[in-house]
Amino acid sequence: MSILDIRVLGDPVLRKPTKRVTEVTDELRKLIADMFETMYAAEGIGLAAPQVGRTERLAIVDVDGARFVLINPEVLESDGSIVWEEGCLSVVDFSAEVKRAAHVLVRAFTPDEREIRIEAEGLLAVALQHEIDHLDGKLFIDYLSTLKRRAAMTKWEKAKAEYPGFIRKVRAEVKGEHHHANETEM
Ligand code: K1U
Ligand code: ZN
């Protein structure tokens, strides 16, 4: 398995609608395994294919051990509203409150091509909506007021120099590792 580079705000791939998956190939299974490794290394609870530069309608989530691979997911039903402080692995060092549906019913396919329906509330509902938005080229900052969005973009203008080519490198976390000043990083 490999840790993939994460694409950050400004990369056009994050704004492209994705293409439905028509066949689960070995290459797609490898992508799913790599996405899990990347998500865990980045300490996320979800990851969508465009975030690793891909155009398939595919995302993964793991909220408190509720782990799902979502192939061609769609929200079938939604109701109520909930406000949650969201972050995004592609919008580094920024979080904001977003209003979403409180309950969702999501339909998706698994890698063994079974149809699943996920009824969710709380953080799982928020994460599912966040990931499905990624597959439609939408980011959580799109929901912010003009003022808050401008503040986010101003912060990002300064930070983006750290991500040449809109690429965020994710390092594997090594257990028991300590960082010391003047130590050479390999
Ligand atoms: O798609 C992504 O960018 C992943 C994103 C999903 C998400 C988190 C919180 C609310 C909505 C969607 C993240 O995992 S960001 C990491 C993070 O902020 C977080 C990690 C653990 C618990 C809660 C949030
Ligand atoms: Zn995100």
Q: Quick count: other Cβ atoms within 10 Å of Cβ 20?
A: 11
18-77 per-position pLDDT tens digit = 999 999 999 999 999 999 999 999 999 999 999 999 999 999 999 999 999 999 999 999
Residues 6 or more apart from 66 whose CB is under 8 A from it? 124
Q: Is 32 in the pocket of ligand 1 (CB under 6 A)?
A: no
The arrangement of secondary structure in 6-168, i.e. its CATH architecture, is: Alpha-Beta Complex (3.90)
Q: Is 96 in the pocket of ligand 1 (CB under 6 A)?
A: no
| pLDDT score of 163 | 96
- Contact between 58 and 32 under an 8 Å Cβ cutoff? The reply is yes
Sequence ranges of the domains in the chain: 6-168
Q: Candidates 67, 70, 88: which one to mutate for ligand 1, based on the most atoms within 8 Å of Cβ?
A: 88
- Mean model confidence pLDDT for the chain: 93
